[in-house]
Structure 1
């Protein structure tokens, strides 16, 4: 059974029914099962006396059964109560609909019990507990128990049982793939030991040893893949652009002066474009730092060299905004800018496709529509993706494939700590715009509980509208679907009109609206024909209305911090003082923490760092859409020391053996390819 790629249903003891359930958890092969790690552990080793138990404790006790009673309080319900004692006191175990308990356990039996304690005065109860006879090798008590991430009707007991039976199979061998010198150098245990002890640790020490090996390996493989991708890409011959004098004329025609940070980023881009190597650069900057202007000037430089440029944005609203901005700025310089989005008619699309193929369009701006097979460029020289975290590596690659090794620029307003950026975008050089243009107003943020909602609407909203300002109200985040989110937005508008703003002009914007409707609503808001715009997160990026000075976010605890910061960035764009009100319903400590962070700082880098600490990088970025291997156990913040060691080792390995072709690295190379899955082709690993 050494074939770890074996279909899970053919693994001994599993079969089609269990395999179907496991498939729902993303487990298709034996390897998937072995790498389906617990999300946490319960330490059931610490035996307690009954007298030591506290309310809400999770605890293990050893006790003697002194009474068992069964009753039927109502039809279809069996209630079994087991009275137990030790030398320090008495407790009661309560079981619902488990009639077998009274047949299995009798007076005088010594048992081990694990569960949550309910203590009222001197009465101690265990409900939904686990009970077993005292033995030399207990099944569930007196152990470190793994808790797995579960959905789709698979219980924790089931997954423990399945993994245990696989690990007990004597035919199973988990072959080592890390070179022996790395294992020796970092005193790592074997992968076989690590897998067995991560699922079923015999003690805390064996768990620590296993954990270190897996964290180190996850970081090493991530870094190796990214370094190989980076080296593979930068070796490719690209287009050698010249710096065109007319670019200075475009810069001088702008109605504002570029900041030092914008100039620095632009110079780095121009230097890359002048090189014969393909540019792969990430431009990141906080909300409102002026990345769009840098993108615009990069595209202009491309066109001045006789090539076409493409700019891909995640939403139609943002694509349309870029289109308006570029058209207005470049109109006097003879550059044809065009828009390609899903909502165009068939005839309009065909016209755009024909013109871009014939090189009649210099810059094409659009959404995912740009990467459709029908789109052919005559001479593509530069590809820009905006809000890079919304697109995967493959989508970026698909757009690049429409040219002959065009330069690539990606932009994000999600500020990422530099170390993390180097990891997540290891294939890219990084430019940071860390300065806001003059005139950007700091935004006062106030978090209020739901019971103060009326005050926010009746006082603050009215106060701003009376001053001639405008207001955004963002709907609670609904994850199920865009349709449900749209319905929630419609309901919120109805409530606001009826209860608060019957005399004000309220508009609605959501993702299910047609592009023409969205455009019309945004135009009305920009032209001050609306006082209040109720919106879903479609306004998260790119929307620019300088007269809007108040942002209210309903159920703010449902949003990530970085997303709250993005939304907040829609105000503070004009000369007037701006505010953001976060209305929250949760009373949890995490919610309180997050709201405090938003009140304390407007610094996107600090906010994103905290967001990553609280939510973890997987959820923050959705590593899968990056085409990056998922970090199942390693945590970029918690395990930073191990990350740095693994990064250093990866650099050394790549320096000695760029494509992992040495004999001792061959198994490691297979592991890198296997973990990177979809991007293996792009990583130039073969």
Structure 2
């Protein structure tokens, strides 16, 4: 059988498929489907099991199922109002009777005949002890080829004007096109045999159109294993290259006590423990690759400060890369004030600097006159050079990819790497997701922090909340109002920052100073607004999630989040962490505009817990890891079918296999196919020498 590779499928446009014209191609592109490979790996989000037939008497409320019945009445068609047609018919079997109703499908009248048997599929509903079913699909029982019933059918995430039947048909055509080929398998034969993994072509076919539930499960196991195996292999390869093949800086032990005593606060026991782990890494000859995880407000920054102090006093330079200019400036001010009296020079590299100011910083870094530089992605630009870079720190790791971290480390001679995140991840998961990093956890908050009181409300509470805002302003406090959108959108019903700020400044809070900040503003504008908010000139700051990370205004004690249902739990927790940073009691109000079960669960979790690790567990459970981790932001390959939360068992098997391969063949010299696919899977994020 002729082999076909993933590269071959990626080169082939979906226009080659029967039934795909220019319009359909553009609709599929909205779903991120550009080629045959994208299409066959566009896995179903759910399935409709139409394969087993139930008696009418056994139909359950709201549960999708199939049943066979005889038409026992004519189809009646009524028009209760303009633009609405109702078609009704009675169906029965030996156990009971049910009424089927179709909205705006008048053709049904000519498709059903009295006395004939049909198979129906849909959700039954029992009202006043009578069964009815709305808009069921149906087929004649006598048909040999059942296209609509007696099957397990895939359900895909869709877009407007692209229905399930169209996607099913196109995917089916694509699969037919590869059935006569052997799809090249990236997983080595030995691994496939150990774990009894299905053939790749079989797995692709059965995940879309399973012959049975068992076939679907076998296909899913195979495809999830492949994704997790490649993920682990990539991370382990990166760690192997970063730590095993190169010798790191061996820092000398220096006296830190005088610096620690100069800090305007006492270290918590958790901070002391984590810094001991960092110090031990820095004084060893291997390259430090450590993740410091801590909840919002746990004091991760001080670990970075201590590590930078040690690096500089040992004769090296340090770089701190953060995701936003606001956070960079904040860190710059606080770190410079701590280092000033110890003769350590700190510089801020931001886009708001003039060309001349930037040039001066670049020259001083190269000459070694600057000890510590703080900045955003600008730090990884080619023109940034260091005299002796010894320590690289990235804050809020989920905003940077593995590759970006690597680019910065390549500006030094095997510098130590410290990664910080306030997005709590369950430890077992963190060990796997950050397979290239050792992990430290700050599991204690500084003393005196009061838990933030959190309430979920709906629109009926608006006036009471507005009064609460006024009360807080009278007390001299400040307020954040966070919106999910920057500007109004025709497609999304949600509050925008621009319109909200305009509305409240002209109406309900016209006598107060209302400011607005969002990502589309110029850096200088954002900086100006934040300065005014920090100084207390602005009472209410309307914002997008730009303030999610690191913004520290102790006088702000009230956070209002509009359309809270549009945010994940981890993000809501991050936003809430912008208040509660002083001694005063702080509050978080979640305006929830949804009645969905998921939304109610999220709001319940937020009002009941302020523990980021508890919240992260729940977030994974509710949303699944794709959204939670935002794997694209991590710089990791997208997981299309594997679920890091539910597939922990598969993940451990995949990790064990990946470890065995890397230990036996670190450069994958004996696994050419695997090496080729690993590079393709990770892009240029992992390079095997």
Global fold match (TM > 0.5): yes
In structure 1, the partner of 2:305 is 296
Equivalent pair of 2:487/2:497 in contact (CA under 8 Å): no
Which whole-Å CA distance do the structure 2 matches of 1:32 and 1:551 have between them?
Answer: 41
- State the secondary structure of the residue aligned to 1:410: strand
Which whole-Å CA distance do the structure 2 matches of 1:22 and 1:557 have between them?
Answer: 27
Shift, 1:624, TM fit: 1.9
- State the secondary structure of the residue aligned to 1:679: coil
Matches within 5 A, 1:404-419: 404-419=413-428
Pick the aligned partner of 2:158 from 138, 150, 154: 150
Which whole-Å CA distance do the structure 2 matches of 1:71 and 1:678 have between them?
Answer: 62
Pick the aligned partner of 2:276 from 247, 252, 267: 267
Change in 2 beyond 3 A, CA 1:177/1:375:
closer
Pick the aligned partner of 1:35 from 31, 37, 41: 41
Cα deviation code 1:326-385 (max 9, x no counterpart): 111111222221112222233333333333333332222111222223333333222211
- State the secondary structure of the residue aligned to 2:683: helix
Pick the aligned partner of 1:613 from 612, 621, 637: 621
In structure 2, the partner of 1:63 is 69
Equivalent pair of 2:487/2:498 in contact (CA under 8 Å): no
Equivalent pair of 2:484/2:494 in contact (CA under 8 Å): no
> Is 2:594 the partner of 1:586?
yes
> Is 2:376 the partner of 1:367?
yes
Shift, 1:573, TM fit: 1.9
Shift, 1:42, TM fit: 0.8
In structure 2, the partner of 1:194 is 203
In structure 1, the partner of 2:402 is 393
Matches within 5 A, 1:375-454: 375-454=384-463
> Is 2:297 the partner of 1:314?
no
> Is 2:579 the partner of 1:574?
no
Change in 2 beyond 3 A, CA 1:581/1:96:
closer
In structure 1, the partner of 2:367 is 358
In structure 1, the partner of 2:168 is 160
> Is 2:606 the partner of 1:601?
no
> Is 2:14 the partner of 1:13?
no
Matches within 5 A, 1:503-582: 503-582=511-590
Equivalent pair of 1:441/1:577 in contact (CA under 8 Å): yes
Which whole-Å CA distance do the structure 1 matches of 2:229 and 2:124 have between them?
Answer: 43
Shift, 1:578, TM fit: 2.3
- 5+ residue gaps, structure 1, are none
Which whole-Å CA distance do the structure 2 matches of 1:58 and 1:433 have between them?
Answer: 47
Equivalent pair of 2:122/2:134 in contact (CA under 8 Å): yes
Equivalent pair of 1:509/1:533 in contact (CA under 8 Å): yes
Shift, 1:41, TM fit: 0.5
Change in 2 beyond 3 A, CA 1:373/1:654:
closer
Which whole-Å CA distance do the structure 2 matches of 1:238 and 1:472 have between them?
Answer: 50
Shift, 1:524, TM fit: 3.2
Shift, 1:314, TM fit: 0.9
> Is 2:214 the partner of 1:205?
yes
- State the secondary structure of the residue aligned to 1:644: helix
Equivalent pair of 1:478/1:485 in contact (CA under 8 Å): no
Cα deviation code 1:92-136 (max 9, x no counterpart): 34263674x566555554322223446655776554432322223
Which whole-Å CA distance do the structure 1 matches of 2:359 and 2:69 have between them?
Answer: 79
Task: Compare 80-89 and 394-403 and name the one that shifted more.
Answer: 80-89
Tell me how many residue pairs correspond in the alignment.
678
Which whole-Å CA distance do the structure 1 matches of 2:365 and 2:494 have between them?
Answer: 35
> Is 2:357 the partner of 1:348?
yes
Shift, 1:542, TM fit: 1.7
TM-score after normalising by structure 2: 0.89
- 5+ residue gaps, structure 2, are none
Equivalent pair of 2:481/2:559 in contact (CA under 8 Å): yes
Which whole-Å CA distance do the structure 1 matches of 2:310 and 2:47 have between them?
Answer: 56
Cα deviation code 1:524-575 (max 9, x no counterpart): 3333334333333222222222233222222222222112212222222222
Shift, 1:323, TM fit: 0.7
Cα deviation code 1:294-334 (max 9, x no counterpart): 11222222222333222111111101001101111111222
> Is 2:646 the partner of 1:641?
no
> Is 2:665 the partner of 1:660?
no
In structure 2, the partner of 1:111 is 118
Pick the aligned partner of 1:673 from 674, 679, 688: 679
Shift, 1:39, TM fit: 0.9
Equivalent pair of 1:50/1:91 in contact (CA under 8 Å): no
Aligned-residue Cα RMSD (Å) equals: 3.2
Equivalent pair of 2:551/2:578 in contact (CA under 8 Å): yes
Change in 2 beyond 3 A, CA 1:627/1:245:
closer
Pick the aligned partner of 1:96 from 104, 110, 115: 104
Shift, 1:247, TM fit: 4.2
Pick the aligned partner of 1:476 from 468, 475, 483: 483
